[in-house]
Chain A
């Protein structure tokens, strides 16, 4: 058991001091602030206590907040997800960590059958945040690189958040913790410590509302709807397309996948008349299909070209660099698809 320290460590005072933070540090600051603000917030997960978690998101928290609020659990995703549900029934606001988001599938039953339906069944709200590192580009192989959002996208009662910037990550984790519904909060591990994503965040308390997309880049020739790491791949592609083709690409960062900000998507499509959906998850049954279908139903008349998508291939995510690079969507894939759309 670790000793409680009363001094807030330097690592979570960066924004206070006007220093830039990484996406990971932004999430840590967000959780920290919510734990200070609301004593009902507590953490559970594997190795999150004295060690601070596999990626160190919860570093220093057990020492500061004490072991009863930062609980190291047995390896038991259905167990501690269920325990979070029980604690939520009693008025607590648990934040639980999947050490890698891949392991969320072990708790699939508890999340989809129990947590997501609780309010509906009359068992009351489930203000739980289920967070964890997701995504590829880090050579993690089949069980440390997945994007399981589509498996939960189909479950009413859940909210799904997947930020792409440090500012959004902090504002959204705070919003997720304050939300009265269960929120799955995906953190792209390739973005965790990327120096390019460091930014100075507001010193004061702020949230980013769940359910609202963000225009990452303004454009008029075509829309890319995307989220998480793909926002940055799309940005690289947009710069190439601007330089080499003179194309003006609009990028919509969904930020929240469930509920989906349909209005933002339709508004952009009506402006640019061309839509490319980009996600890192595999293609079949992926979120891109739902987005394309909604645009088809609601904005078909505005389209000047078929909707295209760039996604991972329909295979488990592989380990070796040439395999992973081939499997995951790359900037040049986005450039190619966008050119096809623009020239249609």
Chain B
């Protein structure tokens, strides 16, 4: 994406990014936060079915890491698998607010057609695979995705997100070990947001740092300030380049903080409120990005405001539209279980059998 505008005035933009790309990153991170805020309003109005999971305070690392991928819409780009707090990464590779809102509302025209929830949805064209709730499982799955890239001689890369809590699973270990042995082009983003539901990281692992685990697997590692979007982008870009060059797996530990509860129903009674306030006041990824953009004269306040306003208007229209979407037909519950047509209706419940007539 070549820049057609004036070259950056004061400081040179790092990592070979252009001013347009910085503005795009800003739009994506702002869109992520605004979308979640709107979803929270819908949740309060009981229009969200089930739980709502916010990524408040970590949107920056999701967007910046996914931004380092080769983003395509024709199924030839890189692939990622998000966790529940990686809405930003999905938005970055092209998931739309309309899809996300419909998913949360369990609509029949949502990507998973009412069979799965929140951001658990998949699109191979745009390059994302929805996670499932047993944590860690997508690490081996993405190992297999990237194994296929390697088998086919494609220079595509996979990126999988995992929380500090999920690194304790056997699936994480088996997946990263498999990918390491096979030298799969895989980037593993360990998001150290310091909480796994109510469990702090110190009760999750005795390791001082998650990057310390990498040498044990024989993979490269990097630790990065997760709320510094340009630093995250830089680390992700280096890891993606390594993977694309055939140098195998990289583990990136992003240091960040979960400012909301595990989900909306979690009141965070186990957290010192001062801790949350401290992160909100001095370490918000969007605030920090804005300061960087303005200080370096990479973007003006007017430009950023214009982006904010456009997002707001677009989201309102999107939500109004989603609200009119129908819920799925009940019988849809039996479709797509198998390749060869819907499963036979459960005959004892909906159509009780008469053993004398069978």
Contact = CB atoms under 8 A, between A and B. Distances in A.
A159 B336 CA distance: 14
Interface string A41-82: 010000000000000000000000000110101101111111
B129 A74 contact: no
A18 interface: no
Interface string B85-117: 000000000000000000000000001110110
Contact of A301 (B121, B150, B175, B356): B356
Interface stretch (A84-92, A166-174, A195-203): A84-92
Interface size class of A (residues with CB under 8 A): 35 or more
Interface stretch (A120-128, A129-137, A144-152, A336-344): A120-128
Contacts of A296: 355
B143 interface: yes
Given A86-B145, A298-B353, A124 B122 contact: yes
Interface stretch (B132-140, B269-277, B292-300): B132-140
Nearest to A295: B355
A79 B144 CA distance: 9
Interface stretch (B9-17, B58-66, B337-345): B337-345
Contacts of B149: 90
A19 to B, nearest CB: 34
Contacts of A94: 144
B178 A73 contact: yes
Contact of B140 (A81, A123, A259, A299): A81
A171 B134 CA distance: 35
B198 to A, nearest CB: 23
Interface stretch (A111-119, A226-234, A321-329): A111-119
Interface in A139-166: 156-157, 159
Contacts of B132: 113-114, 117, 121
Nearest to B357: A301
Interface string A235-277: 0000000000000000000000001000000100000000000
Interface string B190-218: 00000000000000000000000000000
A114 B137 contact: yes
B358 A78 contact: no
Residue in A83, A109, A156, A297 with the greatest tally of chain B CB atoms within 10 Å: A83
B151 interface: yes
A146 B337 CA distance: 27
Contacts of B343: 156
Interface of A, helix, strand, loop or mixed by DSSP: helix
Given A180-B339, A181-B338, A109 B134 contact: yes
Q: Is the interface of B mostly helix, strand, loop or mixed?
A: loop
A110 interface: yes
Contacts of A206: none
A179 interface: yes
B339 A84 contact: no
Contacts of B138: 82
Contacts of A259: 338
Interface residues of B, number: 49
A303 to B, nearest CB: 9
B129 A113 contact: no
Interface in B130-185: 130, 132-134, 137-151, 170-171, 174-175, 177-178, 181-182
B250 to A, nearest CB: 18
A69 B348 CA distance: 45
| Residue among A123, A259, A298, A301 with max Cβ neighbours from chain B (10 Å) | A123
A211 to B, nearest CB: 9
Contacts of B340: 181
Interface string B319-358: 0000000000000000011111001000110000101101
A181 B353 CA distance: 29
A190 interface: no
A103 interface: no
A180 to B, nearest CB: 4
Interface string A173-212: 0000001110000000000000000000000000000000
Among B140, B145, B175, B182, the one with the most A-chain Cβ atoms within 10 Å of its Cβ is B140
B338 A79 contact: no
Determine which residue in B170, B175, B177, B358 has the highest number of CB atoms from chain A within 10 A of its CB, and name it.
Answer: B358
Contact of A87 (B137, B148, B339): B148
A308 to B, nearest CB: 18
Given A121-B116, A122-B122, A123-B122, A82 B148 contact: no
A266 B347 CA distance: 15
B129 A123 contact: yes
B259 to A, nearest CB: 29
A114 B145 contact: no
A157 B337 CA distance: 5
Contacts of A73: 178
Q: Please indicate which of the listed interface residues A69, A90, A119 has the most CB atoms of chain B within 10 Å of its own CB.
A: A90
A83 B171 CA distance: 11
B45 to A, nearest CB: 26
B147 A74 contact: no
B353 A74 contact: no
Nearest to A117: B132
A74 B181 contact: yes
A40 to B, nearest CB: 10
The 6 closest A-B CB pairs, nearest first, are A86-B144, A82-B140, A79-B174, A83-B144, A300-B355, A180-B339
Interface of A: 42, 68-69, 71, 73-74, 76-92, 94, 109-110, 113-114, 117, 119-125, 156-157, 159, 179-181, 259, 266, 296-301
Interface of B: 111-113, 115-116, 120-122, 124, 129-130, 132-134, 137-151, 170-171, 174-175, 177-178, 181-182, 336-340, 343, 347-348, 353, 355-356, 358
13 contacts: A74-B174, A79-B175, A79-B177, A83-B144, A83-B147, A85-B141, A86-B143, A86-B148, A89-B141, A122-B115, A122-B122, A298-B355, A298-B358
Given A83-B178, A86-B144, A121-B130, 4 more contacts: A82-B141, A86-B148, A119-B337, A125-B339
